[in-house]
């Protein structure tokens, strides 16, 4: 077994964008370990979908959760042990359809976890149905005559909900992905990297993306006007330019800190129970 | 009198529930053991609320229909509850809102009315203090000494205490003594609701985290634990819904913190996918499932026991679980501790079934009546390598003789903790291998066997009443309190299984020995426990079912039981 690897055989399709995510996140974890983070303090949480298989391929603590519920599980893990670095991998179907409530509320709370969205705009593992980021007209098995729905802009939604770090990456370009994942993991608060991850089997967008993506330069993600302008620049359906990089960074109080304060001096349970029973008398 | 009941009634928003609590405190001070039954519709203002406080020299867990003292804040209370009045009923009422004509003839000799509005005006007191005047009048009417009321108001109404005392004193002075109650003495004991008892039992069981979304009749557990959070360093959260509550709690469990969720049927529907995850990933979790009348929204604030089948079979796939149903506050306390211990020792979900009645009614908590159950220790990883490969030193799902894999949590030196919703191998890596699939399912079966071996040595089935009677009444959960008294009054054997899954067949056989006739009473239309008994080979001769959302009072149940058990 290699460093941070496992004996699990990789079953992603050749050319799958998930390889780029794996090859970006694993070196970042290794870097963090080399810099002093304990391997035992890292937890990857996976959702359901091709992306979720990533937990089998990385030799750290992992929690394979339910579809759409990975972020909600991650909340419990982080609240239970704030020393853990919790990184969630999920697809756009999980993040923005089945589990939309959880990602919005985690953003609202500014839970200190990292969410890596494997955003391919399609349900791949279930063989190619339209997803929340699929443009109208897409023909999949559940929309044989073309999808009717418009996608929404997930980053704008997350910005409004309060996510304190928002970035967009692309699976052609591992150095940028590594930089963004590292920033996101180190950011104190709710960090999302929407990763344009191409599904070579059901929705191969390499050509379109290659023509439109550009890496942000001179952008100040802490400036609200600039952040919103870049977030709104591409609406996830039209042919506009697609900015890659850290789009928005904000400082907000992190959820869960109050537990550490209130729990500083827990009372002996037996003594506490006696007190409560007395108060109910 | 060894026993009597006081009913206070009025409009929702009149503070009836709080006034009922004060009456309970008063009688508790005198040394009575209490049962406080609350009937409150699902609304904030208007509608009719009432509370019956039953006092007894012995421990009780049920209310009675008939009352000795009626405290009426409006005429509707008299109309609705006139039928409950026994001979020589004492009636305490607001003489400015209730005309004498509204009182039934039998109530006249023992009535005492006070002019509440005038009292408040004289003391320049706000309308919310009307109940203090009424409480003053009640104390005089049933001969509770003034210092007892003074003490209770001082202790439980810390805001504007002096003004409350003056208002109460006027009520006390203007009323007349109508009944001389005994003063048993012996001092007060805690008076707790089922949810408080369950919460305290969970805390005793090492609870560290609780996630709940508001839903009657489980919200009380969320409220209680939220209030106790600083004292016990609990992490209590109200996330975006029941699904999130369940998944968050499972996250806590994975990371090593004992966690529970609480909800009612509709919320539990949403949690069920997470229940199956707990089964597959072997995550310990306690679900406090407070039943109410359904299906769907049903009667939100009224009771039922119609989710037994749901609790027994909730979740897709097959995995072991423990389902138990405490009957009273002492059982709720003891079994909630055991629920966490079992969940953590055997790494599986435990469902604690209760209902509106047990959750929100309150009872004197008698320490001697707490079931004596052992504490069970979870099995932690000893740190010894489980494989030659150092990266596989810890295997989350290690195959063991009893199916229980030692626990380690993220952060533990040398451990890589992989929990998995997919079928997995010993290390937690996803597999679709046929052989491993069977091995894992068999591991759960061994785990369930080991759990049962340990549990079947505990008192899983209670017997009350006349244990030798050939006539047997079986019930579960909150009706047990009424059934216990029926057993004593009618000389019937009463059998209460606390654990419902796995089914305690051996202990039930013992409990039924010598019985010739069996009736099963439960608060549902489908005779769910009766079915369960029959499916395990027990004969059921009669079923007694109630499904109007109301619990049985002792007398009602007695009548029904005597009709079917000749």
The boundaries of the domain holding residue B322 are: 191-369
How far apart CA A11 and CA A53 sit, in angstroms, is 8
- Is residue B378 included in any domain, yes or no? no
Please list every residue in chain A whose beta carbon sits closer than 8 Å to the beta carbon of residue B237: 75, 79
Q: Burial letters for A104-127: b for 16+ Cβ neighbours within 10 Å, e otherwise?
A: bbbbbbbbbbbbbbbbbbbbbbbe
Q: Is A225 on the interface with B (CB under 8 A)?
A: no
> Do B247 and B281 contact (CB within 8 A), yes or no?
no
The structure's pTM equals 0.96
User: Is residue B282 in a domain?
Assistant: yes
Let me know whether B364 and B468 are in one domain: no
Domain boundary among B424, B455, B486: B455
Does residue A1 form part of some domain? no
Tell whether B481 and B507 lie within a shared domain. Answer: yes
Alpha carbon dihedral B475, B477, B479, B482, in 10-degree steps, equals: 90
Question: Is residue B181 situated within a structural domain?
Answer: no
Query: Is A11 part of a structural domain of the chain?
Result: no
User: Helices then strands (H, E): number in chain B?
Assistant: 18, 21
- CA–CA gap between residue A11 and residue A13 (Å, rounded): 6
Q: What is the CATH number for A83?
A: 3.40.50.970
Question: Which tens digits make up the pLDDT trace of B438-496?
Answer: 999 999 999 999 999 999 999 999 999 999 999 999 999 999 999 999 999 999 999 99
DSSP code of residue B393: S
- For residues B418 and B471, membership in a common domain is answered with no
Q: Which residues of B touch A272 (CB under 8 A)?
A: 203, 228, 231-232
When divided into structural domains, chain A yields a total of: 1
Distance between CA atoms of residues B231 and A267, nearest Å: 6
The per-residue pLDDT of chain A, averaged, comes to 94
B274: chain A residues, CB-CB within 8 Å = 66, 69
Q: Determine, yes or no, domain membership for B163.
A: yes
Q: Does A145 touch chain B (CB under 8 A)?
A: no
pLDDT band, very low/low/confident/very high, at A1 (cuts 50, 70, 90): very low
Examine the domain organization and report whether B501 and B549 are in the same domain.
yes
Q: Which of B433, B455, B477 is the last residue of a domain?
A: B455
In a domain, A216, yes or no: yes
What is the 8-class DSSP label of residue A62?
Answer: E
* Cβ atoms A245, A184 nearer than 8 A: no
Residue B384 lies in a domain: no
Residue A182 pLDDT > 60: yes
Same domain, B156 and B196: no
Same domain for B488 and B444? no
In a domain, B184, yes or no: no
Q: Is B375 contained in some domain?
A: no
- Per residue of chain B (566 residues), give pLDDT as tens: 688 999 999 998 889 999 999 999 999 999 999 999 998 887 777 789 999 999 999 999 999 999 999 999 999 999 999 999 988 899 999 999 999 999 998 888 899 999 999 999 999 999 999 999 999 999 999 999 999 999 999 999 889 999 999 999 999 999 999 989 999 988 899 999 999 999 999 999 999 999 999 999 999 999 999 999 999 999 999 999 999 999 999 999 999 999 999 999 999 999 999 999 999 999 999 999 999 999 999 999 999 999 999 999 999 999 999 999 999 999 999 999 999 999 999 999 999 999 999 999 999 999 999 999 999 999 999 999 999 888 889 999 999 999 999 999 999 999 999 999 999 999 999 999 999 999 999 999 999 999 999 999 999 999 999 999 999 999 999 999 999 999 999 999 999 999 999 999 999 999 999 999 999 999 999 999 999 999 999 999 999 999 999 999 999 999 999 999 98
Q: Which of residues 400-459 of B touch A (CB under 8 A)?
A: 409-422, 424, 427-430
Q: How far is CA B277 from CA A101, A205, B273, B316, in A?
A: 20, 34, 6, 9
Inform me whether the C-beta atom of residue A275 falls under 8 Å from chain B C-beta atoms: yes
Tens digit of each residue's pLDDT (9 = 90 or more) over A116-139: 999 998 888 787 898 898 999 999
> Which residues of chain A does B189 touch, with a Cβ-Cβ cutoff of 8 Å?
281
Domain annotation covers residue A10: no
Check whether residue B220 and residue B289 sit in a common domain. Answer: yes
Domain count, chain B: 4
Please state, in angstroms and rounded to a whole number, the distance separating the CA atoms of residues A124 and A131.
9
Residues B318 and B403 grouped into a single domain:
no
Q: Which residue blocks in B16-115 are alpha helix, DSSP H?
A: 16-29, 75-81
* Cα atoms in the 13 Å half-sphere on the side-chain side of B498: 23
Q: Is residue A117 assigned to a domain?
A: yes
Instruction: Give a yes or no: residue B182 inside a domain.
Output: no
Query: Residue A63 falls within a domain, yes or no?
Result: yes
Instruction: Name which of A56, A73, A262 is nearest B429 (Cβ-Cβ).
Output: A56
Task: Tell me the CATH number at B86.
Answer: 3.40.920.10
B344 and B482 share one domain:
no
Q: Give the model confidence (pLDDT) of B120-179 as tens digits.
A: 999 999 999 999 999 999 999 999 999 999 999 999 988 999 999 999 999 999 999 998
Residue A12: inside a domain: no
* Cβ atoms of B466 and B493 closer than 8 Å: yes
Q: Answer whether residue A4 is part of any domain.
A: no
Restricting to B residues 167-196, those with a Cβ less than 8 Å away from any Cβ of A are 188-192, 196
> Do B151 and B214 lie in a common domain?
no
Q: How far apart are the first and last CA of chain B?
A: 31
The ipTM of this complex is 0.97
CATH of the domain at B479: 3.40.50.920
The domain of A31 spans 18-279
Q: How far is B118 from chain A (nearest CA, A)?
A: 33
Helix (H, G, I), strand (E, B) or coil at B12: coil
Residues B428 and B465 in one domain: no
Q: How many CA atoms lie within 13 A of B80 on its CB side?
A: 18
Whether residue B107 is found in the same domain as residue B199: no
Residues of B in contact with A8 (CB under 8 A): 429-430
């Amino acid at each position: 077994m290699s460093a941070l690897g496992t004996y699990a055989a990789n079953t992603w399709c050749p050319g799958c964008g998930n390889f780029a995510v794996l090859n970006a996140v694993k070196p970042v974890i290794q870097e963090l370990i080399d810099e002093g983070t304990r391997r035992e303090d890292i937890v990857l949480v996976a959702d359901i979908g091709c992306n979720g298989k990533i937990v089998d391929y990385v030799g750290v603590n992992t929690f394979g959760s339910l579809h759409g519920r990975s972020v909600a599980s991650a909340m419990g893990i982080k609240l239970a042990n704030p020393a853990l670095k919790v990184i969630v991998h999920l697809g756009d179907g999980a993040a923005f359809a089945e589990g939309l409530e959880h990602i919005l509320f985690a953003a609202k709370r500014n839970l200190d976890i990292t969410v890596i969205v494997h955003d391919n705009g399609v349900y791949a593992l279930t063989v190619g149905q339209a997803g929340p980021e699929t443009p109208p007209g897409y023909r999949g098995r559940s929309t044989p005559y073309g999808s009717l729905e418009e996608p929404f802009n997930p980053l704008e939604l997350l910005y409004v909900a309060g996510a304190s770090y928002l970035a967009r990456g692309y699976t052609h370009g591992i150095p940028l992905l590594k930089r963004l994942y590292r920033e996101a993991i180190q950011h104190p608060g709710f960090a999302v990297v929407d990763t344009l991850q191409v599904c070579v089997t059901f929705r191969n967008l390499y050509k379109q993306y290659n023509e439109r993506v550009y890496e942000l330069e001179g952008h100040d993600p802490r400036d609200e006007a600039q952040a919103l302008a870049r977030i709104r620049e591409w609406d996830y359906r039209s042919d506009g330019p697609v900015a890659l990089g850290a789009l928005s960074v904000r400082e907000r109080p992190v959820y869960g800190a109050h537990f550490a304060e209130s729990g500083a001096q827990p009372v002996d349970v037996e003594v506490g129970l006696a007190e409560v029973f007395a108060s109910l008398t | 009198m060894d026993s009597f009941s006081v009913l206070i009634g009025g409009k929702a928003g009149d503070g009836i529930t709080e006034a009922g609590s004060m009456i309970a405190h008063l009688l508790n001070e005198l040394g009575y053991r209490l049962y406080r039954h609350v009937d409150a519709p699902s609304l904030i203002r208007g509608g009719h609320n009432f509370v019956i406080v039953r006092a007894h020299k012995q421990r009780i867990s049920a209310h009675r229909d008939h009352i000795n003292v009626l405290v009426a804040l409006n005429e509707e209370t008299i109309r609705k509850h006139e039928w409950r009045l026994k001979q020589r009923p004492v009636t305490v009422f607001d003489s400015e809102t209730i005309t004498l004509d509204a009182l039934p003839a039998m109530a006249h000799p023992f009535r005492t009315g006070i002019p509440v509005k005038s009292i408040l005006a004289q003391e320049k007191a706000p309308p919310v203090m009307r109940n203090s005047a009424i409480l003053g009048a009640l104390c005089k009417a049933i001969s509770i000494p003034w210092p007892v009321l003074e003490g209770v108001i001082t202790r439980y109404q810390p805001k504007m205490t002096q003004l409350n005392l003056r208002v109460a004193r006027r009520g006390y002075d203007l009323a007349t003594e109508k009944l001389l109650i005994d003063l048993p003495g012996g001092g007060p004991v805690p008076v707790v609701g089922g949810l408080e008892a369950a919460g305290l039992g969970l805390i005793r069981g090492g609870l560290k985290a609780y996630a709940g979304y508001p839903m009657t009749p489980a919200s009380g557990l969320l409220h209680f634990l939220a209030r106790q959070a600083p004292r016990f360093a609990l992490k209590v959260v109200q996330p975006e819904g029941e699904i999130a509550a369940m998944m968050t709690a499972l996250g806590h469990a994975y990371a090593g913190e004992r966690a529970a969720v609480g909800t009612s049927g509709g919320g539990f529907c949403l949690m069920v996918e997470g229940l199956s995850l707990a089964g597959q990933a072997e995550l310990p979790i306690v679900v406090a499932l407070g039943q109410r009348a359904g299906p769907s929204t049903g009667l939100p604030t009224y009771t039922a026991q119609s989710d037994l089948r749901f609790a027994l079979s909730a979740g897709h796939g097959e995995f072991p679980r423990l389902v138990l149903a405490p009957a009273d506050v002492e059982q709720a306390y003891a079994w909630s501790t055991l629920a966490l211990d079992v969940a953590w020792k055997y790494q599986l979900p435990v469902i604690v079934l209760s209902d509106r009645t047990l959750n929100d009614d309150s009872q004197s908590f008698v320490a001697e009546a707490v079931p004596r159950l052992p504490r069970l220790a979870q099995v932690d990883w000893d740190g010894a390598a489980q494989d030659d490969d150092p990266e596989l030193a810890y295997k989350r799902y290690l195959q063991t003789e009893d199916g229980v894999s030692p626990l380690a949590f993220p952060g533990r030196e040398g451990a890589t903790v992989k929990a998995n919703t997919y079928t997995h191998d010993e290390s937690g890596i996803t597999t679709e291998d046929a052989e491993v699939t069977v091995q894992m399912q068999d591991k759960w079966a061994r785990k369930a066997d080991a759990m049962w071996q340990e549990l079947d040595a505990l008192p899983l089935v209670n017997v009350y009443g006349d244990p030798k009677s050939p006539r047997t009444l079986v019930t579960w959960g909150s009706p047990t309190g009424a059934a216990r008294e029926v057993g004593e009054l009618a000389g019937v054997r009463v059998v209460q299984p606390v654990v419902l899954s796995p089914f305690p067949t051996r202990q039930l056989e013992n409990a039924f020995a010598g019985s010739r006739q069996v009736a099963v009473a439960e608060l549902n239309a489908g005779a769910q426990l009766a079915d369960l008994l029959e499916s395990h080979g027990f004969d059921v001769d009669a079923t007694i079912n109630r499904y109007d959302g109301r619990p049985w009072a002792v007398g009602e149940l007695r009548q029904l039981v005597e009709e079917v058990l000749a």
